[in-house]
Chains A and B, each alone.
Chain A
């Protein structure tokens, strides 16, 4: 049933004789990440987020009882990269499909992986109501302020003034409204238990993103309810920026509209537990 992408499927693991030449291998591929080349553009953040997810799944030892949801969007083929059971969902319905899975398997760890169009535009109803019901699963929300898969249209999280294929003069809040702050929106709902916004622009931020994902999974494993980690992630291709400039754009522009940090923590999981 699965399909490898045409250009990929190559094993890119480091040579197995690394040790033989006296180099200690400290950075290895997580078991839950498949040794294949992804279809993501250079400088895209999805690859980093996939890896963080895989690392957390490995650390928590839950690979065999984790079920993931791939969205419609750039991460549509996430199931080709993560070595866990996974399901597709119609565009935006990802939290509803996740609900259907988690209700059958309350003892399994369920995560949905969604982009900003999937989650904050077409799937607004589904994410709000999943959070409101306190569905005990984890949402990995990759916010890159643009529809990447369909060539860079305006997203609900596009910044004011940001130029996209469908806001060629820059997003005008009088016409299209402003960027939706998903974490803050969901924080008002009793069912949401852990909400944090992170980014993947520096090693420090990447490590924080990993801690956040880990904590969200722990909240789920403790049966506390809905958790969502919003990850500000670069899209150099449709921001028309170099990968380096894209990281700068997140740090200097995006974080002003989307401040980093814990937005809500009623998960009852201690701060130290979020650390590896």
Chain B
């Protein structure tokens, strides 16, 4: 099945019963799959009048205590940012899939990683973050949907699944584990009518001086907990690696191939593949950087994640970028060429001892 269908099926298995969408390529298979299969599971599929409405319907259903989600692609995700900010401000568990396409503007419909900044910096207005999960296969499109709903409920926060056109469209075998069951979390804050209890209010408005500051501090405490506990990555042949590749999603697939080929040619290369983009797996990258001669970040943009890599590395080894913008996918041969160049030169770079990593 396609990555998009895998994500949709997994969402249903993870207990999602309310899906609101709006057509946009390359994520239409999610809408179509949900339209076909969610009602069979006793759920509600609704094609909204816009992305703004779709994310607001998620707001309503999440506020009413249900597992709810929406999906879109880059231009549509820009529209959803209004609602995502409200979801963060109202602390509503919810899941949003972004099957990224090229931008800015209408861009094109091919795979891109140009929404990294938008995804990892909150995206909408206000001082907030969303958890960001980055699958790199159809299987992971499925597996991470369970994670997404569980994390959303655990932290009462919107969770973004950041895929791309290639991951969404390509077909791969996917296994669904029957032992995985959705975790049910009590939601005493949810809207269900105030019978026999004090009324519940879902809102993000703090007009009295000081209240909003206190609320934001509480949000940040939550984000600090998430940063401490939820950063995830896959390390591939990093133990003895002299040069570390850092890549996520489709770029990471190409990089895995490059690691294998480089090692055949005797270059000690490894890959760190962030699975959470926020929180960013900075400790793993920092640890690898302390031993490595160089880091090469590979991404389908002209340099977004590389900024987080540099923040994690704090100058303790050189960080380079191989970026392909505008719907271009990095080629293994190009990465190998970059690695060859680095292998020749980076040994001569004088290493600096950086200060200890705080937080």
Binding site for B on A (CB under 8 A): 1-3, 5-6, 63-67, 70, 76-77, 79, 83-90, 93, 96-105, 108, 125-126, 128-129
Per-residue contact bits, chain B 62-88, to A (CB 8 Å; 1 contact, 0 not): 111110100000000000001100100
Binding site for A on B (CB under 8 A): 18, 20, 44, 46, 48-50, 52-54, 56-66, 68, 82-83, 86, 90, 189, 191-196, 199-208, 211
Q: Given that A100-B63, A104-B60 are known contacts, is A1 also in contact with B86, CB under 8 Å in the complex? A: no
Instruction: Check if A125 sits within 8 Å of B49, measured CB to CB.
Output: yes
Instruction: Check if A85 sits within 8 Å of B192, measured CB to CB.
Output: yes
Instruction: Check if B56 sits within 8 Å of A96, measured CB to CB.
Output: yes
Instruction: Check if B193 sits within 8 Å of A64, measured CB to CB.
Output: yes
Query: In the complex the two chains form, what is the Cα distance from A175 to B304 in whole Å?
Result: 44
Contacts of B191 on A, CB cut-off 8 Å? 67, 85-87, 101, 105
Q: Which residue on A lies nearest to B50, using beta carbons? A: A125
Contacts of B199 on A, CB cut-off 8 Å? 2, 79, 83-86
Contacts of A83 on B, CB cut-off 8 Å? 194, 199
Instruction: Check if B83 sits within 8 Å of A93, measured CB to CB.
Output: yes
Instruction: Check if A87 sits within 8 Å of B60, measured CB to CB.
Output: yes
Instruction: Check if B52 sits within 8 Å of A96, measured CB to CB.
Output: yes
Contacts of A101 on B, CB cut-off 8 Å? 60-61, 63-64, 191
Min distance, Cβ B28 to any Cβ of chain A, angstroms: 20
Contact of B194 among A6, A85, A87, A128 (CB under 8 A): A85
Contacts of B60 on A, CB cut-off 8 Å? 87, 89, 96-104
Min distance, Cβ A189 to any Cβ of chain B, angstroms: 13
Q: Given that A76-B205, A101-B63, A101-B64 are known contacts, is A108 also in contact with B192, CB under 8 Å in the complex? A: yes
Min distance, Cβ A146 to any Cβ of chain B, angstroms: 21
Contacts of B206 on A, CB cut-off 8 Å? 3
Query: In the complex the two chains form, what is the Cα distance from A105 to B61 in whole Å?
Result: 9
Instruction: Check if B59 sits within 8 Å of A97, measured CB to CB.
Output: yes
Min distance, Cβ B62 to any Cβ of chain A, angstroms: 8
User: What are 13 A-B residue pairs whose CB atoms fall within 8 Å in the complex?
Assistant: A64-B194, A85-B191, A85-B200, A86-B191, A89-B86, A97-B57, A99-B57, A100-B56, A100-B61, A101-B64, A105-B193, A125-B49, A129-B53
A5, A65, A90, A96: residue with the most chain B Cβ atoms closer than 10 Å? A96
Contact of A88 among B54, B65, B90, B195 (CB under 8 A): B90
Contact of A3 among B50, B61, B90, B207 (CB under 8 A): B207
Contact of A103 among B18, B59, B208 (CB under 8 A): B18
Instruction: Check if B194 sits within 8 Å of A84, measured CB to CB.
Output: yes
Instruction: Check if B204 sits within 8 Å of A103, measured CB to CB.
Output: no
Min distance, Cβ B303 to any Cβ of chain A, angstroms: 32
Min distance, Cβ A74 to any Cβ of chain B, angstroms: 13
Contacts of B59 on A, CB cut-off 8 Å? 87, 89-90, 93, 96-97, 100
